[in-house]
Structure 1
C-alpha cells in the first residue's frame, strides 16, 4: 500500500535532508535520519512478524517513529494513553491482543500483566522497552482489513471502546487540516497533548511532517506539566519562545492556564505563535474572548474519534466566535430534526469486537447543535445529557457549565437537574496563588455568573467536591469530559438532598 505520509517523508529526505523533522529533549532527527529510522524499524517489525503493535509512553521521538513505522508496515497501531488507569490499560490489551507492546513504563505492565508479556531486545529504540506476547495461540479479535489504527475512547460510561480507523480516513483528515491551517515547511509545532490523543497524533505529528515542518516532542515533566493540577505554564511559554513555536493544540483547560499565566505577568501572546487549535471539550465564550484579548491566535474546532478526529475548524480565512467553524472539505454535516449533528465522510471502519459499523448513510454523532446561514456549526452539548426540569424546561448541562468554567475561581463543574425545579452542581474550586481570604465567597461568584443565565437555568444549590475530577479516579473520560453517571453514583445522594440555600455544602 502507498502511504501518503511516508512518500512525503522520503521526498523531504531528498529535498531537505538536513531539515529537523522531530526534536526531543536530548536528540533530534532530520528528514534523512527519520526516513532511515522508519525503514529500519519497519524491517524489524516484519522480521519479528508483528501483527498488532501497542504503544504506551510519554511523548518522545522513539514513540513517534514507532507509530509511523507501524503505519508504513501496514501493522495496526494501538495507542495506550498513559493517563488510563491500570484497569483500562488491561482491558485495552485484552481487547486488542497486540503481540508487541512498546512502553517507557514496563514496570506498570509487570504489575498487572506479569505472565502475559516478556521483554525482548529491540535495538532500534533506546527509550522504549519491547514486550512480546507469551500466550500462544491467542484469540485475536477480527478487525476490518483496512484498519491501520485502533484508538480507544472511554466515552462517558463503560469500558474504553476500540475505534478502528483506516489509512484513507486519516490521510483525508491530515490533508484537509494542512490546507485549513495553511501549514508550511516553516512550521515549528509543539505537542502539548499526548500522542496517544488522536487529535495530537494526526494534527501534531502527521500533519506537520506532511508539510515538511518540525514537530517538538517533550515529556510532560520537561514542559512543567507533570502534574496537570499544577501546570507551570511559564515553562511552556519559555519553550515556545526558545524554539520559535508557531502552532500547537490545546484543550480548554490548558488554554485557561495559559491565559492566566500571561495575564498575571502582564504579557501578550508569544510573537511566533500563529495558530492554536482548541478542542476536546466545550469552550466557554468568556475564555475565548480572554484569549483574543491577549493576542492568542485561537481557533476552536470540533471532532470525534469515529471521524478520525477533526470535523469542523475555525481558520484564519473563515472564523466565527462561538462556533466550532465550518466543516472541513472531506466531510459533510447536517442536522436532524431534533438538532442532532449528523456527519458523512472519513468515518471509522467499526468498533473492535462490536457488530456496530458505520454505513454509507449519515452517522449520528450524539451532539446537539445548530448551523447558521453561512455554514458555521455551533455545538450545544450531548443529546444524552439533556435533562428536563420539573418545570418542563429542556436544558443542556454543557451550556450552563460553559458559562461557569470560564471564571478563574472555578476549576471544574458538573451540572445535573433531571426532575428538579432548578439545576444543581458539583463544583471543584480553582486553587489560586492568592490567599483564600482575599477572594470573594464562592456564593458571590455563582450569583454573578447566574445573572447571565435565564431564571430557569440558574444554579440554585451546589456541592463542593473534596478532590479534583480526573480520569484516574474514574470521574473524567480520557479527553477531559465528565463521566456523569460515575459522578452521580458517587455524589448523587448528597446532590439530590440539596435545597436552594445561600451557603455552600461540603462533600464528606
Structure 2
C-alpha cells in the first residue's frame, strides 16, 4: 500500500461522505472512491498484468483505474488522446503493456496487430464503461526500473516519444509539496481542464486535490472544448468554468490567452469562485499575468519537468516574484551549472529502457536560468532547439523539417513555433516549383504528423540561406536564431494573433513585400491552392 492511498483511506475514514469525484454521469464520495478502487484492484489482480495502458476520456473512471493500478503495484501507462496511431503503437510496444484499458473501441488497423485477440475483449464489473484488451507480446519490451508505478510519455519531440518511469514516492512528493505551499489558499473544488493523461493534471491537479480532501471535477474533454492536443473551443471552456464554479485549475499558456481575450472583449466574466489558476508548460510574459489579474483571473506561473514528477517551482499568493517561474518547492533542489538548470531530489527512476537520470550534478533540464537569493527561479531560454508550444507540447523542429525536406520542391526549411499555438515554416522553394505545390506538400506532410507538430502557416523565404550571410554553419546547419532575426516580417505574419495589454492594438506590417505577394507567401496551407501560382526563386 502506497502512502498516497493510505492518506486517501484516512480521509475516507474521517470524512467519508465528502464528495471526492464529480463526473458528468456519476459522483463518488471518498468512501465510495476507496470501495471502487479496492474492487477494481481485485479485478486487475485476477488478470495478473504488471504493465497496463490506459486510454480514456477524463472521468471518475480514469481516476479509479489509475488508483487501482497504484494499489496493485502495476506500472500504469497513461496514453495521451492526441497521440496518432504510429505513436500509440510505439508506446504500447515499447512499454511492454500487457493490456489496454479504454472507454472506447479500438478500430485502427495498425493497432489490431498489437491486440492479442479481438474476441478476448471484456468489461469490468466495477466500472462498466471501461473495457480491457489483451495485447500481443512485444518484441521490443524494455526493462523497467524497480519501483516504477507510472510510465508517462512526453508529448513527443520526435515520432517516438520517451517514457519517463516514476515511482509512487515521486508522485506523492510532488503533490505533497504543492499542497504545502498552497495551504493558506482555500481550494475545495478543482476543475480538471487538461487531459488526465497529462502528468501535470494527473499529479498537480488530481493527486494534490484528493490529498487535501477536496472535490475533483471531471467533465469530458469534449465538454471542455478540446479537439486534439492543440485546439480548444475557448467559449466552451469559459462556459464550463462559469457553470462548475471551481476554486482552482491548471492552465496552459494558450488557454490563458483565450480566456483573457474572452474576458477582455466582454464575452465572459470570470466567476468569483476562482482562487488559484496555475499556468505552466511554456513561459508566460509578466504583462500577460498582470492582464489576467486585472480581468479577474488569479494566475500564477510555475515550472516543471516530467522527469521530476511535474512541478519543480511555483509562484503562489503567499510567495511570488513577477516574471519568475516561482519558488523552488521543498521536494526539489535546484542549482545552476554553466547557466543550465540542474535538478536534484525528486528525479524519476529513469527513461524506459535507459539508464538512471540523476548524476552527481543532478538532472540537466536543458533550460537556462538563474536562482535569486529568495529561491525563485528565473528562466532564460532553452539550451537546445526544442520548441515548446503554448499548449505545452514539445516538438523537435528537425522532425517536421525532415518530413518537408523529403519533397523536391522544398529546398530549405525552418520550422518555428516556440511559445506559439501552432508550428509554422519558413521555406525556400526550389526554382521551378510553385506555391500550390508547397501547399499540397504541407497537407500531405501534416497527415503523417500529430496535430501539435503540423504546419499551420508558412512563409516563402525571398532567397536561399547561405553561409556567407551568416544563416548557415560551415557544414550547412541552420543558424536558427540568426534566421529568425533576419526575417521578423515573415515571423510576424505567421503569428498574427498576439494578445496585447488592455487597450493595446497592433497590426503586422511587412514593408518588404507587396500585399499580393504577402497573401501568397504567408498563408494557411488549407487555402494555399487558391493562390496564384508562381516561381519560388
TM-score, normalization by structure 2: 0.73
Distance change >3 Å, CA 422–CA 234, structure 1 → 2? closer
Q: Given the alignment of the two structures, is residue 133 of structure 1 paired with residue 174 of structure 2, yes or no? A: no
Deviates more, 1:110-119 or 1:258-267: 110-119
Q: What residue number does 1:490 align with?
A: none
Superposed CA RMSD = 3.5
Q: What residue number does 1:8 align with?
A: 7
How many Å separate the matches in 1 of 2:108 and 2:186? 39
Q: How many angstroms does 1:336 deviate by? A: 1.1
Are the counterparts in 2 of residues 5 and 209 from structure 1 also a CA contact under 8 Å? no
Q: How many angstroms does 1:420 deviate by? A: 4.5
Q: Given the alignment of the two structures, is residue 382 of structure 1 paired with residue 382 of structure 2, yes or no? A: yes
Q: What residue number does 1:124 align with?
A: 126
Are the counterparts in 2 of residues 162 and 352 from structure 1 also a CA contact under 8 Å? yes
How many Å separate the matches in 2 of 1:132 and 1:348? 28
Are the counterparts in 1 of residues 41 and 68 from structure 2 also a CA contact under 8 Å? yes
How many Å separate the matches in 2 of 1:197 and 1:80? 9
Q: Given the alignment of the two structures, is residue 99 of structure 1 paired with residue 98 of structure 2, yes or no? A: yes
Q: What residue number does 1:329 align with?
A: 330
How many Å separate the matches in 1 of 2:506 and 2:126? 57
Q: What residue number does 1:464 align with?
A: 522
Question: Helix, strand or coil: the match of 1:9?
Answer: helix
Cα deviations across residues 112-168 of structure 1 (Å, max 9, x unaligned)? 3345333123222222221112449x6642111111110011453452001111111
Aligned ranges for residues 259-338 of structure 1 at < 5 Å? 259-265=260-266, 268-337=269-338
How many Å separate the matches in 1 of 2:352 and 2:2? 23
Q: How many angstroms does 1:285 deviate by? A: 3.1
Question: Helix, strand or coil: the match of 1:385?
Answer: coil
Distance change >3 Å, CA 140–CA 188, structure 1 → 2? same
Question: Helix, strand or coil: the match of 1:281?
Answer: coil
Aligned ranges for residues 83-482 of structure 1 at < 5 Å? 83-109=82-108, 111-114=110-113, 116-118=115-117, 119-135=121-137, 140-157=141-158, 159-182=160-183, 187-226=188-227, 231-265=232-266, 268-337=269-338, 339-355=339-355, 357-385=357-385, 417-418=480-481, 420=483, 422-424=485-487, 426=491, 428-429=494-495, 441-443=507-509, 464=522, 466-467=524-525
How many Å separate the matches in 1 of 2:86 and 2:242? 39
How many Å separate the matches in 2 of 1:170 and 1:413? 41
How many Å separate the matches in 2 of 1:400 and 1:41? 43
How many Å separate the matches in 2 of 1:374 and 1:186? 26
Deviates more, 1:353-362 or 1:307-316: 353-362
Question: Helix, strand or coil: the match of 2:485?
Answer: coil
Cα deviations across residues 189-216 of structure 1 (Å, max 9, x unaligned)? 0011011110000011111100111111
How many Å separate the matches in 2 of 1:506 and 1:5? 63
Q: What residue number does 1:392 align with?
A: none
Unpaired stretches in structure 1, ≥5 consecutive residues: 388-396, 406-410, 433-438, 447-461, 469-504
Distance change >3 Å, CA 404–CA 17, structure 1 → 2? closer
How many Å separate the matches in 2 of 1:312 and 1:115? 39
Deviates more, 1:126-135 or 1:143-152: 126-135
Deviates more, 1:84-93 or 1:101-110: 101-110
Unpaired stretches in structure 2, ≥5 consecutive residues: 388-413, 423-455, 460-477, 499-504, 513-519, 527-533
Q: How many angstroms does 1:30 deviate by? A: 0.9
Q: How many angstroms does 1:401 deviate by? A: 6.0
Distance change >3 Å, CA 131–CA 265, structure 1 → 2? same
Question: Helix, strand or coil: the match of 2:384?
Answer: helix
How many Å separate the matches in 2 of 1:84 and 1:507? 34
Aligned length: 434
Cα deviations across residues 363-407 of structure 1 (Å, max 9, x unaligned)? 1111011222322211122101399xxxxxxxxx9x9966999xx
Aligned ranges for residues 8-27 of structure 1 at < 5 Å? 8-27=7-26
Are the counterparts in 1 of residues 185 and 275 from structure 2 also a CA contact under 8 Å? no
Q: How many angstroms does 1:287 deviate by? A: 2.1
Are the counterparts in 1 of residues 154 and 306 from structure 2 also a CA contact under 8 Å? yes
Deviates more, 1:121-130 or 1:420-429: 420-429
Are the counterparts in 2 of residues 401 and 413 from structure 1 also a CA contact under 8 Å? no
Aligned ranges for residues 27-66 of structure 1 at < 5 Å? 27-66=26-65
How many Å separate the matches in 2 of 1:302 and 1:109? 36
Cα deviations across residues 36-72 of structure 1 (Å, max 9, x unaligned)? 0000011111111111111112211111110111012
Deviates more, 1:33-42 or 1:365-374: 365-374
Distance change >3 Å, CA 373–CA 315, structure 1 → 2? same
Cα deviations across residues 209-255 of structure 1 (Å, max 9, x unaligned)? 00111111111211233467663333333332333300000000000
Distance change >3 Å, CA 109–CA 100, structure 1 → 2? farther
Question: Helix, strand or coil: the match of 2:106?
Answer: helix
Are the counterparts in 2 of residues 187 and 214 from structure 1 also a CA contact under 8 Å? yes
How many Å separate the matches in 1 of 2:6 and 2:284? 37
